[in-house]
Amino acid sequence: MREYVTHVSSESSEPSDSAPPGPGEDPGPGAAVELRGITKRFPGVVANRDIDISVGRGTVHALVGENGAGKSTLMKILYGMQRPDEGTISINGEQVALHSPADAIARGIGMVHQHFMLADNLTVLENTVLGAEKLHGIGSRARARVKELSDAYRLGIRPDVLVEELGVADRQRVEILKALYRGASTLILDEPTAVLVPQEVDALFDNLRELKSEGLTVLFISHKLGEVLSVADAITVIRRGTTVASVLPGETNARELAELMVGSELPSAETRESTVTDIPMLRVAGLELSATDSDGALRAVLDGISFTIHKGEVLGIAGVEGNGQAELVEAVMGMSDPTGGTVTLDGQDISHTPTRTRRESGIGYIPEDRHRHGLLLEAPLWENRILGHATQEPNAKGRLLGVRGLPQLLDLKGARRDAGRIVEEYDVRTPGIEVTAASLSGGNQQKFIVGREMSHRPKLLIAAHPTRGVDVGAQAQIWDQIRQARREGLAVLLISADLDELIGLSDTLRVMYRGRLVADADPAAVTPEELGTAMTGGAGGHLEHDERGDAE
């Protein structure tokens, strides 16, 4: 295995003088990517400041840093989506100007975004060649090339399957294949493990090692420091827009990395203490929902779901994405119309009440898709303070007018003031509350949503992936906030792909598989691997399997 690791130092900031390789020529050792003195300014923010990174060809290079540190901006610059204000980009020793992703692709840069960009109703093969070639009449050459790439990198691609039938891990492999098909020799992956279960993470890392052994270069962003240490050959730490260190995984550990990222020590984890009462807060009984498959068959997406969450209890639901968790959340929030079953909140049957009423009755909601359900991306932050809470203080004033459909008067000053408070208390890194939600980094958007939802002191918090995309420091802070509220009686329905989060926060853990709750696990005893097995339909370990899936 070849390893090229460059430390950020004065010597390494010398410009590379190696000539670009000719077509088909072995590029030999050297840097696949060199970024020198990259600076990028947005109004009120310097997102990247004099960044230096050298990524060795044929290595896996990780980029870590707290939320808003500037990682995504830097990767967007390398993928031609943003132009730097200063600095140079060299690819395989040649200085380049990238005006668009097409330029980057032509230079052998591929990117797999966090939100996949595949067309559900097309096959894997069609998705792979889409954009690179005309779709009608995909020739046998394209098919052969897809198979060849899939075999060479052991991606296990089935070309004729519809993408909608694939799970998250398979979709990710299609995205990787798609980049390889376009000739990528350097792959950028943005938080690739955020949505994978442990077994899938292992499989992805095998794929990355395979790519590396064939001479490809991988550059990835991650907040999961344990994973970074296990797969990367080199790690660059970015803090407040600039590179502060480049380290070797063998010479550091997660704590040290976290300290480099945040510039201070991390809060230590809290010990487990139970605050569960015997007062039911949310009772879900016999929830049923069906959906029509692509072949026209009716399939149960919620199949007799029953559970109770008490005051002071966190009920965690483990499951591979797409097994009904999203539908369960929508049903409890009143965003869908289940065909059977009841939802009771604090003794009130809310099965047929609209979402707004449910929120007003005390449900806080951290949605899975923050862009679709959590934020108005083009609106300023203070307006986002109002979203979902337009009839509640501090966003509304006066009494209800009693006229149907007329809300209270909006209290814009109140909303502004409180948005400022959330920014302060939840350490949302932003130049102010007047900027759009879209201009915040992903992790900072998430912190704002968590702050907003916790501000209304909900009785029940529905938290879908509450710390997805946030850095380790902010994650510890959000966990503390949830634990603190739980101590004061909050009930939480927690859906998460982060098994450490599920195990660490939950008082009760259940596994969802194909629309049913199929197993119970003791959070104090179960391991992430055992949970991962149950989530993919397996049995064993510290889990009690429930044949009917409706133990209530």
Ligand X SMILES: Nc1ncnc2c1ncn2[C@@H]1O[C@H](COP(=O)(O)OP(=O)(O)OP(=O)(O)O)[C@@H](O)[C@H]1O
Smallest gap from residue 125 Cβ to ligand X (A): 32
Where do the H-state alpha helices sit in 457-513? 472-487, 499-505
Q: How far apart, in whole angstroms, are the C-alpha atoms of residue 81 and residue 275?
A: 48
Smallest gap from residue 378 Cβ to ligand X (A): 12
Of the candidate residues 128, 441, 477, 533, the single one contacting ligand X (CB under 6 A): 441
Backbone φ/ψ region at 341: left (φ over 0), alpha (ψ -120 to 50), beta: left
- Is residue 236 at the binding interface for ligand X, with CB under 6 A as the rule? no
Of the candidate residues 8, 33, 45, 169, the single one contacting ligand X (CB under 6 A): 45
Q: How far apart, in whole angstroms, are the C-alpha atoms of residue 101 and residue 111?
A: 9
Sign, CA dihedral 309-315-321-323, equals negative
> What's at 537, amino acid-wise?
G
- Is residue 429 at the binding interface for ligand X, with CB under 6 A as the rule? yes
Q: Which helix (H) or strand (E) segment is 315 a member of?
A: strand 314-318
Contacting range for ligand X; rule: CB under 6 A; set: 83-91, 407-415, 438-446, 540-548: 438-446
173 φ/ψ angles, rounded to the nearest 5 degrees: -65, -35
HEC per residue, 438-451: HHCCHHHHHHHHHH
Q: Which is nearer to ligand X, 83 or 413 (CB)?
A: 83
Q: Which is nearer to ligand X, 77 or 490 (CB)?
A: 77
81 φ/ψ angles, rounded to the nearest 5 degrees: -85, -25
Indicate the DSSP class of residue 14: S
Smallest gap from residue 258 Cβ to ligand X (A): 14
Q: Are 465 and 495 in contact (CB under 8 A)?
A: yes
Q: Which is nearer to ligand X, 78 or 180 (CB)?
A: 78
Smallest gap from residue 237 Cβ to ligand X (A): 11
Of the candidate residues 338, 367, 443, 458, the single one contacting ligand X (CB under 6 A): 443
Smallest gap from residue 71 Cβ to ligand X (A): 4
Q: Tokens 């598989």 map to which residue? A: 513
Contacting ligand X within 49-78 (CB under 6 A): 65, 67-73
- Is residue 533 at the binding interface for ligand X, with CB under 6 A as the rule? no
String of contacts with ligand X for each residue 264-283, x by CB under 6 A: --------------------
Residue 269, CB half-sphere, CA atoms under 13 Å: how many?
A: 10
Smallest gap from residue 494 Cβ to ligand X (A): 21
Q: How far apart, in whole angstroms, are the C-alpha atoms of residue 455 and residue 372?
A: 21
Contacting range for ligand X; rule: CB under 6 A; set: 3-11, 224-232, 320-328, 437-445: 437-445
Backbone φ/ψ region at 233: left (φ over 0), alpha (ψ -120 to 50), beta: alpha
Of the candidate residues 32, 35, 47, 78, the single one contacting ligand X (CB under 6 A): 47
Cα torsion at 455, 456, 458, 461 (round to 10°)? -50
- Is residue 193 at the binding interface for ligand X, with CB under 6 A as the rule? no
Of the candidate residues 338, 364, 388, 442, the single one contacting ligand X (CB under 6 A): 442
Q: Which is nearer to ligand X, 252 or 446 (CB)?
A: 446
Residue nearest to ligand X (CB): 443
- Is residue 458 at the binding interface for ligand X, with CB under 6 A as the rule? no
Give the binding-site size for ligand X (rule: CB under 6 A).
Answer: 19
DSSP 150-163: HHHTT----TTSBG
Q: Are 183 and 108 in contact (CB under 8 A)?
A: yes
Contacting range for ligand X; rule: CB under 6 A; set: 369-377, 441-449, 490-498, 512-520: 441-449
- Is residue 84 at the binding interface for ligand X, with CB under 6 A as the rule? no
> What's at 419, amino acid-wise?
A
> Two tokens at 402?
């009693």
Q: Could you tell me which residues come within 8 angstroms of residue 364 by beta carbon, excluding any fewer than 6 positions away?
A: 453, 454, 456, 458, 460, 461, 462
Contacting range for ligand X; rule: CB under 6 A; set: 138-146, 251-259, 322-330, 442-450: 442-450
Contacting range for ligand X; rule: CB under 6 A; set: 11-19, 352-360, 440-448, 541-549: 440-448
- Is residue 444 at the binding interface for ligand X, with CB under 6 A as the rule? yes
Q: Are 389 and 359 in contact (CB under 8 A)?
A: yes
Smallest gap from residue 443 Cβ to ligand X (A): 3
Smallest gap from residue 243 Cβ to ligand X (A): 12
Q: Which is nearer to ligand X, 70 or 198 (CB)?
A: 70
- Is residue 325 at the binding interface for ligand X, with CB under 6 A as the rule? no
Smallest gap from residue 467 Cβ to ligand X (A): 11
Of the candidate residues 186, 243, 384, 439, the single one contacting ligand X (CB under 6 A): 439
> Two tokens at 40?
């990028």
Q: Which is nearer to ligand X, 42 or 412 (CB)?
A: 42
Q: How far apart, in whole angstroms, are the C-alpha atoms of residue 146 and residue 179?
A: 11
Smallest gap from residue 45 Cβ to ligand X (A): 4
543 φ/ψ angles, rounded to the nearest 5 degrees: -130, 145
Indicate the DSSP class of residue 20: P
Residue 30, CB half-sphere, CA atoms under 13 Å: how many?
A: 18
- List contacts with ligand X (CB under 6 A): 42, 45, 47, 65, 67-73, 429, 439-444, 469
